[in-house]
Structures are given as C-alpha cells and as structure tokens.
Amino acid sequence: MFTVKPLPSAETAHEALAIGLFEGAEAWSGLAGEYDSRLGGQLSRLRKEGDISAKRGRVAVVHPLLPTGAKRLYFVGLGKKEELTFERLREVFGRLFRTWKQAKRAEAAIVLDTFATETVDPNEAAHALAEAYYLATYEFPGYKQKKSEPDGALESLTVHTEADAAEIEASLFVGSVYGKATNSARTLVNTPGNLLTASDLADYAVKLADRYDFDYEILGKEEMERLGMGALLAVNQGSTQPPKLIVLKYQGKEQWEDVIALVGKGVTFDTGGYCLKPRDSMIDMKTDMAGAAAVLGAMEAIGELRPEQNVLAVIPATDNMISGQALKPDDVITSLSGKTIEVRNTDAEGRLILADAVTYAKQHGVSYIIDVATLTGGVIVALGTDKTGAMTNNEALFEQLLEASMETGEFIWRLPITEKDRERVRSSKIADLNNSPGREGHAIMGGAFIGEFAEDTPWVHLDIAGTAATKKDSDLGPAGATGVMVRTLAAFVERFE
C-alpha cells in the first residue's frame, strides 16, 4: 500500500500529489514553490484569493495542466504550526483520504515533510498517515442484495520524505496495524447479534489465535458449571445460545510473570432480561460486546507487533434474553469467586459476567487487570458520548493507561470509587453483594461492583458505553462502531513498565 521515496521534483509524474500548508507561511517554498514558479505565480494568486487555504481541514485541488509533473495538486490546510498535534494531523489526513476516496483516486502521493513540525516529527506523521488511511476509508459491507457502487479507494500511496526511509516504513507499519485492528473491532461490533453469537465470537478468537500463534482456551457451559461460574451462567439462563468464556494467551517474555489481563464484556445482544429495555433503548444492543471487540482488536495488534509483554485476554460471551429459565430480579447467585450476589436488576448483567471473567483471570496468575465494557447508561449521562469513563484501585497503573490514551487520542476521564460506594455495592441484606444498589452514581456502582472481584490486584475499569459507537460520520470513519480502546490497549501493552 505504502511506498517510501525521496522528495520529488516538480517534474515527477503523479496522478495526485498532496502538500501540507501552515498558516502564516505566506511565501511558497520547496516543491510548492517550484510549482508556483512553473505556473507563473498562479498558486500565489489562488492562495491570496482564498481558493487555496491553510486553515486546518481545508483541502483544495488544483489542476496544473503542465506537460510534466502532477496531474492534480492537493493543498491541505494544517492551521497554525504550533497548534498541530498528532490527533489533529490524523484528522486532517482522514479528511484528505475521504476526499480521494470520493474522487476515486487509485494512486496518489504525499510530501510527508510538509505535514511535520517540531512537535510532530516525520515518524509520528507517518504513523498518523497510515492509521488515518484505514480508519477514514473503513466501510461495513452490510447485507444488501443489490449494493450501490462502492466508493473508490487508494490502491497505492507514495510517501515522499527526506527522513530515514526505514524508520518511516516502521512507523507506517505500526499505524497500519492500529488502523486495521480498530477496523476489525468495528466490524465485529457492527455485526447483528443473530450473526455474531457467543459461539461465533469464540470461532473468531480461535482464528485469531491460529493466525498469531496464541495459546487459547474456550470454555463451554459444562466446563463453567464444573468450575462454578454462577454469574456468567445466570445471565445465560434465558438464552438458547450456549455461553463461551474465551481465553487468549500471548507470551512475550521467557517467564509467565507480570501478566496483563485484558477483560472484555461480550454480551452479543442485550434485551435487559426481565428488566426489559424499552424499544428505543434495545435498538443497537448488538454493540454490547464492544468491550470484547476492543480486546480482540488489541490482541490483533499485539499479534502483529509482538511486544515483550505477557498478555491474557479473557472474554465472557453470552446474550441476555428472556425465557421461562431466565434470571429474575431477587434471585441470588454464586459467582466463581464464591461471593454471592443479589440480583436487583437483570439489565445490570455486564458486571455479572465480568465478575467471573476477572476471577478467572486472577486464577491464571495475572498481575494487572484492565476491563473494557459498555457497562452503563450512567456514564453517558455523566460524560457524554466522546469520553470513556475510568475507575481504578491503582494510581500507577491508571497513569500508564492514561498516557496511552493521550497518545492515541482516545479520551478517558477518571471517576472516583469511595468507601461509601463500596458499602452501597455490599448493601444486600441476604447476599455478599447487590448488583444494582440504585440509580445515583450508576456508572460508579458498576465499576465498584467489578472492583469487588479485582480486590487487591491492580485494576482499571473502562466504561465505553458512550464511545463504542457514534451516530455521525467523521473524518476518521462512518457512523456506527468506533473500535474505541483498541489502540489505547495496544499502546499501553507495548509501552508498559
């Protein structure tokens, strides 16, 4: 897809060539200056008249009509140089790729150095470029018999730079891995629940394990019963689809120590159980396995990048349905940990299946736990749809995860868990825990409940209920699943100390 070459001249042939422009740089320089000279100052005139703009996100196309050189010049506005960040640059690249896709450009080139600054060097720009390409051009294929003609997509992109070619190629590779892995998660989340059952999710994980030589374990209902996974089994009681506990093991160190557990909620469809969701709230509940998709996407990236870390992925998978056998409010169940739970709300099922998954991870000797889940509507009320809520019992672990999220541009915001919150979760008069002690602080109650099973193991909970999907197209992809937290988890694992 990407080819790295030295900087071209104005006579080098290109179907389409992109050049970045910063505000305040009035005089044309470099390759753009060469083209302006060859065109008798026409680029300067177009910029003065506003047809070419350096405002961030503006993309202007010029047809030079020269006997040699580029057939089309794309000038990409980057705003003020001192305000450019990795995240903003990635969005700008996304806008450019969507422009090329709409124009059905099959081949293109870009002068990478014109997009770099002192704070975003060419290597970081290359990472942003590759990541943006895959994110911005993603499409979920859907199931229509007669599909409209697909938008064009680039088949090759030449990246021109004076920087070290090997380093740029390495950055392009990492960016490509992050983008592709995020898209894999998007596709899983966008898939309807009848076409992605717990068994289907397990089959996907096995294929992933085979591709990257992970050890794996798939627990079925009988194994869960033998082990005593009462919480996961309780959520599954109303379903005709069997539950699965999916376990992937990546060993990047000689010894199985300092193991990071990535635990993802895999509710493939959530009706709410007997605490039935209203119709409007039940639509799009196919996305309730976005935590599982994030973990699987992160494992894809880990499989490609092979970091020197040990990682255990644990995904409890089931749907949450209604039948004569289904879990009921007031039921008391016994989790894998032995702790008993009074079920006050069958729609608070995610924390139940995560309880057994977290306990199972601990039984496998993990040192750190990060769970990812579309857990509560409460986090949307608190933080909106552009922020992932986070809770933790360990400052150092959270700080490393926060740093990874800032690096990838996936915003997280920490919510507190106090002793009074823990007391509320333990407020049942007939069991050890209450799965739904009230609406107040709803998101915190969900996190605090999972924390009862993490206990003293360093742990971070990520509630992605608001960020797992979007209703609007953006420069980095269409409406639908976002694949949120794939890149943050992968970056965290890569850099964990």
Domain CATH for 141: 3.40.220.10
Domain enclosing residue 30, as ranges: 2-162
20 & 158 share domain: yes
119 & 186 share domain: no
Residue 305 has which token pair? 């990048």
| Interval 215-253: pLDDT, tens | 999 999 999 999 999 999 999 999 999 999 999 999 999
36 is in an annotated binding site: no
Residue 48 has which token pair? 């003065």
Entry pTM: 0.97
**What pLDDT score does 148 carry?**
61
Active site amino acids: 277, 351
200 is in an annotated binding site: no
**What pLDDT score does 146 carry?**
72
**What pLDDT score does 419 carry?**
97
**Which regions of the chain are under pLDDT 50?**
none
**What pLDDT score does 152 carry?**
65
155 & 187 share domain: no
79 & 224 share domain: no
Let me know if residue 168 belongs to a domain.
Answer: no
Residue 343 has which token pair? 């079920």
Q: Measuring CA to CA, which residue among 12, 152, 16 is closest to residue 72?
A: 16
213 is in an annotated binding site: no
In the chain, the number of structural domains is 2
Q: Measuring CA to CA, which residue among 57, 139, 60 is closest to residue 93?
A: 57
Domain termination site, one of 134, 162, 190 = 162
390 & 442 share domain: yes
Burial of 349 (0-12, 13-18, 19+ CB in 10 A): buried
**For residues 432 and 430, what is the distance between their CA atoms, to the nearest angstrom?**
7
**What pLDDT score does 147 carry?**
63
Let me know if residue 309 belongs to a domain.
Answer: yes
Let me know if residue 172 belongs to a domain.
Answer: no
**What pLDDT score does 53 carry?**
95
121 & 211 share domain: no
Domain termination site, one of 135, 162, 189 = 162
196 & 296 share domain: yes
**What pLDDT score does 150 carry?**
57
**What pLDDT score does 25 carry?**
72
308 & 389 share domain: yes
Q: CB-based contacts of 240: which residues, under 8 Å, 6+ apart? A: 321, 323
468 & 364 share domain: yes
| Interval 48-66: pLDDT, tens | 999 999 999 999 999 999 9
**What pLDDT score does 153 carry?**
75
